[in-house]
Amino acid sequence: MYSLYMATLGNMPHVFAGQAYASTIKEPVKYDVPQETLDADPKFAVLVKEANKYLGYPYLWGGHHPNTGFDCAGFIYWIFNNSGVASFGHQGAQGLYDSSRKVSPENAQPGDVIFFSGTIEGESGITHCGLYVGNNRMIHCGNPCTYADLTDAYWQEHFAGYGRFY
Q: Helix-strand-coil percent breakdown of the chain, rounded to 5?
A: 35, 25, 40
Ranges of the chain whose pLDDT falls below 70: 1-25
Structural domains of the chain sorted by starting position, each given as residue range(s) with its CATH number in brackets: 3-164 (3.90.1720.10)
pLDDT at residue 16, rounded to an integer = 53
pLDDT at residue 58, rounded to an integer = 87
pLDDT at residue 32, rounded to an integer = 97
| Residue type at 33 in one-letter notation | V
- DSSP-based three-state secondary structure for 151: coil
pTM for the structure as a whole: 0.86
Contacts by 24-32, CB closer than 8 A, 24 or more apart: 24/143, 25/143, 25/144, 26/143, 26/144, 26/146, 27/56, 28/55, 28/56, 28/144, 28/145, 28/146, 28/147, 29/146, 29/147, 29/148, 30/55, 30/147, 31/133, 31/137, 31/139, 31/147
Using a pLDDT cut of 70, give the percent of the chain over it. Answer: 85
pLDDT at residue 21, rounded to an integer = 46
pLDDT at residue 7, rounded to an integer = 45
Q: pLDDT digit string (tens) for 122-163?
A: 889 999 999 999 999 999 998 899 999 999 999 999 999 999
pLDDT at residue 27, rounded to an integer = 85
